[in-house]
A and B are shown apart, each in its own frame.
Chain A
Amino acid sequence: MSILVDRSTRVIVQGITGKEGSYHAVACREYGTKVLGGVTPGKGGSTHEGFPVWNSVFDARDAENPDVSLIFVPPAFAADAILESIAANIPLIVCITEGIPVLDMVRVRRVLDARNAEGAEIRLIGPNCPGIITPDGAKIGIMPGYIHKRGRVGVVSRSGTLTYEAVWQLTQLGLGESTCVGIGGDPVRGLNFIDVLELFEKDPETEAVVMIGEIGGEDEERAAVFAQTRMTKPVVGFIAGLTAPPGRRMGHAGAIVSGGKGTAKEKMAFLESHGVAVVDNPSLIGKTVFDVLASGKSRRPLLPV
């Protein structure tokens, strides 16, 4: 088992004829992901790198009924691309695009939430994220596939390369990963830590979870409360940005300490006090998971809610 995606997952790529979309569609196919083809408005009916191209997500849906749409559309048009996939009822939308205006994402989230409230089951991962991978199953994103190894640890992260760092350690220690989800560095996004933690808790293959957060917002805190009250599996946490100055955006649009809120120190203390094993040295993420799993205390009782 794994979460959200596996060997049978069927994927289309929005923006497949663009530089990024094209490169990564091929890389995902090489990893073994079932990439069915892609969408570029105006290029329907052609083929690109051996992939069929459709004019719209609707055409792609009618032809192949995909499970996932992976989006590489430039930021100014990305909200439109996500909304099209929502309208076409694609169950999982993974948006890699960095730099989408936040008010566009406000509207996207509003539409997505409304559709789901009406009974649809559509999930969005990202934007501004590396995507999702189930090792030896499906790579749906831009992460380097070979650093992953199928295994016991679920990974959820707001970061890209920092996730690779953690994954690499887990792989080197032989623990491996069940699924890795990059939820993205933007302030308004699709799946959040809590959503992914809930899925990992239900997944029999996942024995522990690594949660990689960073400065800004309160999502890590909410996730810690969830972990304490609703999870039996251990969570190891890292928060980047202990040395980040307040009021400055550190690369990611969401990585900013504002009004004294969202500092790494606060978050780490909060996570610690809610039973998350907090690592202050990112070189020791893998080792900490190893120790937690080896301690035999990996399953813990739920606190009464």
Chain B
Amino acid sequence: MNIHEYQAKELFKEFGIPVPNGVLVETVEQARQAVASSPLFKGDSKPAVWAVKAQIHAGGRGKAGGVKIAKTVEEIPGFVEQILGKTLVTHQTGPEGRKVQKVWIEEGSRIAREYYLSAVVDRTSRRITLIASTEGGMEIEEVAQSHPEKILHLSIDPAEDYFPYIGRRLFSFLGLPFQVQSQFVNLVRDLLSFFQKRDASMVEINPLVLTQDDRLVALDAKVGFDDNALGRHPSIRDLRDLSEENELEIEASKYNLNYVKLDGNIACMVNGAGLAMATMDVIALAGGSPSNFLDVGGGASKETVEQAFRIILSDPHVKGIFVNIFGGIVRCERIAGGIIAAAQDVKVTVPLVVRLQGTNAKEGREMLKSSGLAIQVAEELFEGAEKIVLAVKGEA
């Protein structure tokens, strides 16, 4: 699960990681009120500039016009107006982009230098790994390509946990000035503590800035959490922003269906994640384009299949459905019965190909054939993919 920058910064604050002060607004009116009332915008100690930042779950906001620097307080509501409601297209949003519904206004920092600091679970070392780089503000993948020597990876032994030497190693690699050593060492400690105590899957501070008055500040914050651990962190689960997710995916998750929307026009419904991916691949191999990933799990009961059909058919691009079930524990006749009943109830009007294999597959296929419904039946995976691709092309 991903969260917004402003939420990440609130969590950082709770764990003692320094962040800029800011306010969140959802309307231009709120921005006007904030500017008029919040101490962040007045008095002698007010900052010289403010950053007005679109809150969406994707990186690359700056390049897409989602971040503005206001040099006067008066400029701020205008910038908020420009950003709010705008659809930002970045390299992480896909071509459809993301609509901005929240804007975070924060104090600007007088930046002396920018750094990169993150923590992830590294699947190779099977440990939390800290990653630091002197190239703050750049995409870490790009730095890894062009200047791998400018990145330090440090894996944390879960039996040892955090000791200050770990922070000092990163500190000397980054070449930070001595007067911020203890600040930095504590920041790494707090970052790691946040990661472990909240079951994060990724925490990225890019850039981490050193200000001209020798303070370290997390200027940006990107945080993802381990979905498997949300059960023990209800306060983190509450941070989920449904408006950032695909409506069909939210609907599917209500029925324990694992659905991911794609760009094609052939829907698939499969039991098992690996087989579901392979089914998408086979549709592409047969010359079609899959419109989704959908794992209905082991059971594939009538109710599950019915919900799956409803979700699939809510996507207006879908021109055909390929159901691929490998009946193992659950016998194929039962699955066939479920598919027939669900197809009748949902009134599937696009071509439907069902490939059944496994326990009593023959009987299951016979049931589908004699159901009186326009269901094409396949024995093999590729055969099924070819049939649905052909059927969809015939429709077009």
User: Which residues in A have some Cβ–Cβ distance to B below 8 Å?
Assistant: 27, 75-76, 99-107, 109-111, 114, 142-144, 146-147, 157-165, 168, 185, 187-188, 212, 214-219, 238, 240-245, 247-255, 259-260, 264, 280-284
- Note all chain B residues with C-beta closer than 8 A to A283: 282, 380-383
Q: Is the CB of B138 closer than 8 A to any CB of chain A? A: no
* Apart from A146-B359, A212-B274, A245-B260: 5 A-B pairs, beta carbons within 8 A: A144-B327, A147-B328, A159-B272, A243-B284, A252-B273
* Interface hub of A212, A217, A242, A247 (most chain B Cβ within 10 A): A242
Contact of B121 among A102, A245, A248 (CB under 8 A): A102
The 9 closest A-B pairs by CB, nearest first: A159-B274, A251-B273, A161-B272, A144-B328, A162-B274, A101-B229, A283-B382, A240-B277, A161-B275
**B128-A106 in contact (CB<8A):** yes
- Note all chain B residues with C-beta closer than 8 A to A214: 274, 277
**A144-B358 in contact (CB<8A):** yes
B290 and chain A: residue at smallest CB distance: A243
A selection of 24 A-B contacts at a CB cut-off of 8 Å is: A101-B199, A103-B196, A110-B126, A147-B328, A162-B275, A163-B274, A164-B326, A164-B358, A165-B275, A188-B123, A219-B123, A240-B275, A243-B281, A243-B284, A250-B293, A251-B274, A251-B293, A255-B273, A259-B144, A282-B381, A283-B282, A283-B380, A283-B383, A284-B382
A254 and chain B: residue at smallest CB distance: B123
Q: Complex Cα distance A75/B326, Å?
A: 25
A217 and chain B: residue at smallest CB distance: B123
Q: Complex Cα distance A26/B92, Å?
A: 48
B260 → A minimal CB distance (Å)? 5
Q: Complex Cα distance A244/B276, Å?
A: 10
Contact of A162 among B278, B283, B290 (CB under 8 A): B278
Q: Is the CB of B258 closer than 8 A to any CB of chain A? A: yes
B327 → A minimal CB distance (Å)? 8
Type the 1/0 row for B318-329, where 1 means its CB is closer than 8 Å to any CB of A.
Answer: 000000001111
Q: Complex Cα distance A247/B57, Å?
A: 12
Contact of B126 among A106, A114, A280 (CB under 8 A): A106
**B273-A165 in contact (CB<8A):** no
Q: Complex Cα distance A157/B258, Å?
A: 20
- Note all chain A residues with C-beta closer than 8 A to B270: 161
Instruction: Given A260-B141, A283-B282, answer yes or no on A251-B258 (Cβ-Cβ < 8 Å).
Output: yes
- Note all chain B residues with C-beta closer than 8 A to A142: 329
A149 → B minimal CB distance (Å)? 14
B102 → A minimal CB distance (Å)? 21
A-B contact count (CB 8 A): 174
B387 → A minimal CB distance (Å)? 13
Number of residues in B with C-beta < 8 Å to the partner? 55
Q: Complex Cα distance A259/B157, Å?
A: 24
* Interface hub of B121, B278, B357 (most chain A Cβ within 10 A): B278
Q: Complex Cα distance A161/B121, Å?
A: 27
Q: Complex Cα distance A164/B157, Å?
A: 37
- Note all chain B residues with C-beta closer than 8 A to A157: 274
Instruction: Given A217-B124, A240-B278, answer yes or no on A101-B226 (Cβ-Cβ < 8 Å).
Output: yes
**B121-A168 in contact (CB<8A):** no
Q: Is the CB of B345 closer than 8 A to any CB of chain A? A: no
Q: Is the CB of B373 closer than 8 A to any CB of chain A? A: no
Q: Complex Cα distance A237/B125, Å?
A: 24
Contact of A103 among B199, B277, B280, B285 (CB under 8 A): B199
- Note all chain A residues with C-beta closer than 8 A to B290: 243
Q: Complex Cα distance A206/B327, Å?
A: 27
Instruction: Given A188-B121, A250-B260, answer yes or no on A160-B274 (Cβ-Cβ < 8 Å).
Output: yes
Q: Is the CB of B55 closer than 8 A to any CB of chain A? A: no
Q: Is the CB of B265 closer than 8 A to any CB of chain A? A: no
Q: Complex Cα distance A97/B158, Å?
A: 22
Q: Is the CB of B231 closer than 8 A to any CB of chain A? A: yes
B262 and chain A: residue at smallest CB distance: A245
* Interface hub of A103, A162, A264 (most chain B Cβ within 10 A): A103
- Note all chain A residues with C-beta closer than 8 A to B273: 159-160, 185, 250-252, 255
* Interface hub of A160, A161, A216 (most chain B Cβ within 10 A): A161
A190 → B minimal CB distance (Å)? 10
Which B residues from 217 to 238 make CB contacts under 8 A with A?
Answer: 226-229, 231-232
Contact of B157 among A27, A100, A110, A219 (CB under 8 A): A110
Q: Complex Cα distance A161/B274, Å?
A: 7
Q: Is the CB of B271 closer than 8 A to any CB of chain A? A: yes
B334 → A minimal CB distance (Å)? 14
Q: Complex Cα distance A239/B275, Å?
A: 11
B90 → A minimal CB distance (Å)? 12
**B276-A251 in contact (CB<8A):** yes
A259 and chain B: residue at smallest CB distance: B141
- Note all chain A residues with C-beta closer than 8 A to B123: 187-188, 216-217, 219, 254
